[in-house]
Amino acid sequence: MGVRAIDRRRNEGGQPTGPGLVGMARALALVESATPAELRERGCGLLRDGQGLAWVACLYLEESGRWLGSDGDGARLACDDFRHPYAHAIRQGKPLRLGLAEARTRLDHPDFQAQVAALPGTLQLEVRPLRALDGEREWLGALAMAGDDTVLAGLAEDAEFAAFESLLCRLWARLSRHQGERHREARLRQSLAQLNDGARRQALAERLAEDLLGTSAAMQTLRRQVVRAAETNLAVLLQGETGTGKDRVARALHRLSARHAGPFMAINCAAIPEALLESELFGHARGAFSGADQAREGLISQADGGTLFLDEIGDMPLPLQAKLLRVLESGRYRPLGASEERQADLRLVAATHQPLRERIRDQRFRADLYYRLGQFPLTLPPLRERREDIARLAEAFAADFSAREGRDELGITPAALRQLRERDYPGNVRELKNLIDYACAMTRPGDDIEPLALPGQPEPEDTAPGSGADGDDNAAAAASKVHDLRRALRDYEADLIRQRLLLFGGNRALAAESLGLPKRTLAHKCRQLELDAK
Ligand SMILES: Nc1ncnc2c1ncn2[C@@H]1O[C@H](COP(=O)(O)OP(=O)(O)OP(=O)(O)O)[C@@H](O)[C@H]1O
């Protein structure tokens, strides 16, 4: 029975539709499809409903040309797998008809078997390879139909079915072409956007190189990561040995971020006595504790709209860690003694030189806070792992010194550079900077820094015989000049701490240990004496 015959039968109920109009309605239904998938679905529906077929499926050739996909059941069948009938039909380039019972026993592809499992074995299966008639793309896929022998035989001879199939193929080819173009355009737009993003990020990373010096691969990677982190609002955890530049990275992150116009508030958790840290961070209400005559904003409130940098986060006391976690998770906090909670919108950057995992093991740091802080973890490489950066850093520090002191620019001799490259730097970049400052101070204006000017290199005068006696004389002379004991002691203390920090390349833990002080006390003294606490 042909399409026309079936249409006639469908319209026996008196609907005023002639064969031509039915064909038109069918064509319209196909033409209105927006995508190849919709077209296939409509095509199958029209055939199934109008032709008395038991099963209709339309398989499409994937872009690779190696697979046939099926919209309805998601089956995917390889074109060169002859365990299913579609491969045979496409290989032969002409329709294939066989009994379903035979197909079930001969063609044991599991996806095909599943497709026809529920159909009676008495039916016939016809597979028609579909080809784009305009030649743009040779094979489109295959049409599979199961039905009575007479129905399938009628269809094969029906001119209207042939027209239907031809329209299906033309529309399919056109829609595929449009869809392909749309996909190509979308891919192009996407890669252009990525290219633009890539170029913008590259430009930012290059600009960052003026601030975070170093051409080593490790520094280049770090700068790229900083640019990425700055694009987000994620909490950043900076980990690295002392003096590797964590503070510098935190400031760069803020400058590059969308919050750059907001405040950047920083606090060193190790430098503030435990009792004060909470009110420094959270602020307090008036009368919250004895001496709190005025309400005071804490750093969290001051950092609203900007970035809060918590240095030495590993030293934060456990009770405060819990409160900080709450700020991170909800943005809510309560100043000391206040009755109401407040809301803050800030990006948190935390830094530590301590192995936080060990502190978690020792139950001195909360694991949940660690993971929350480290949404975007960044590790700063120690200087000894990027010795190629030493010369560039040293020259930049010498230039900084000259600019600060208003002196002509100082060069560094190749021998001094060699020595600088060979040193170990437990205090990392800070140690190198202190060393160059010292060497600059020891170098006569107009000269270049020589190896002898570097600390740790014996000076001829120091080794001269009798220097011990001179030392005693100098001490006596200095003592005779003291008129204010407190001030003299303060100066002496400041000098001693400064020297010790220089000796240990700025490593506060080592400096504090060598002076028999807790690290927190040393940090406190540095603040009191207005020494560079770093
Ligand atoms: N890549 C760099 N380029 C230029 N200067 C740098 C770089 N890294 C660090 N410095 C300088 O080295 C010194 C120490 O850096 P910073 O204070 O950022 O280290 P840190 O890792 O925060 O140290 P700590 O753990 O002791 O707090 C600063 O003077 C900083 O300006």
pLDDT tens for residues 484-510? 777 778 877 887 888 788 777 777 877
How many angstroms separate the alpha carbon of residue 246 from the centre of ligand 1? 6
CA angle 422, 428, 429 (to 5 degrees): 100
**For residue 475, pLDDT beyond 50:** yes
Q: What is the pLDDT of residues 1-27, one digit of tens each?
A: 444 444 444 444 434 344 455 677 778
At residue 254, the pLDDT reads 95
ipTM above 0.90, yes or no: yes
Task: Mark whether 524 and 447 lie in a shared domain.
Answer: yes
pLDDT tens digits, 100-149 = 999 999 999 999 999 999 999 999 999 999 988 655 446 899 999 999 99
Q: What is the pLDDT of residue 463?
A: 38
The answer to whether residues 134 and 175 belong to one domain is yes
276 and 258 part of one domain: yes
Q: Which residue has the tokens 């005693």?
A: 472
Within a domain: 208: no
Q: Which stretch of 38-47, 303-312, 463-472 has the lowest confidence by average pLDDT? A: 463-472
**Mean pLDDT rounded to a whole number for the chain:** 85
- Mutate which of 208, 215, 248, 312 for ligand 1? The one with the most ligand atoms within 8 Å of its CB, which is 248
Atom of ligand 1 nearest to the CA of 396: 4
Ligand 1 atom showing the smallest separation from residue 245 Cα? 18
Nearest CA residue ID for atom 18, ligand 1: 245
User: How remote is the CA of residue 386 from the centroid of ligand 1, in Å?
Assistant: 15
- pLDDT, one tens digit per residue, over 155-196 is 988 888 898 998 999 899 889 888 877 777 777 677 667 667
> What is the helix (H) or strand (E) element at residue 267, kind and residue range?
strand 264-268
Domain containing 85 — which CATH number?
3.30.450.40
Nearest CA residue ID for atom 26, ligand 1:
242
- Specify the pTM: 0.57
Pocket of ligand 1, beta carbon within 6 A: 212-214, 240, 242-248, 311, 351, 353, 429-430, 433, 534
Is pLDDT larger for residue 451 or for residue 529?
451
Question: Which protein residue has the closest C-alpha to ligand 1 atom 24?
Answer: 242
Contact 62, 78 (CB under 8 A): no
Q: How far is CA 69 from CA 117, 163, 182, in A?
A: 18, 24, 20
Instruction: Output the pLDDT for position 476.
Output: 62
pLDDT at residue number 513: 75
Chosen domain end from 353, 381, 409: 381
Tell which of 381, 403, 434 closes a domain: 381
Q: Whose CA is nearest to atom 8 of ligand 1?
A: 245
What DSSP string describes 106-119? Answer: H---HHHHHHHTTS
Please give the distance, rounded to the nearest whole angstrom, from the Cα atom of residue 249 to the centre of ligand 1.
Answer: 8
Residue 464 confidence class, pLDDT cut points 50, 70, 90: very low
Average the pLDDT over 411-420 and give the result. 94
Give the model's pLDDT for residue 496: 81
Give the residue from 132, 158, 180 where a domain finishes: 180
**How many structural domains comprise the chain?**
3
Same domain, 130 and 230: no
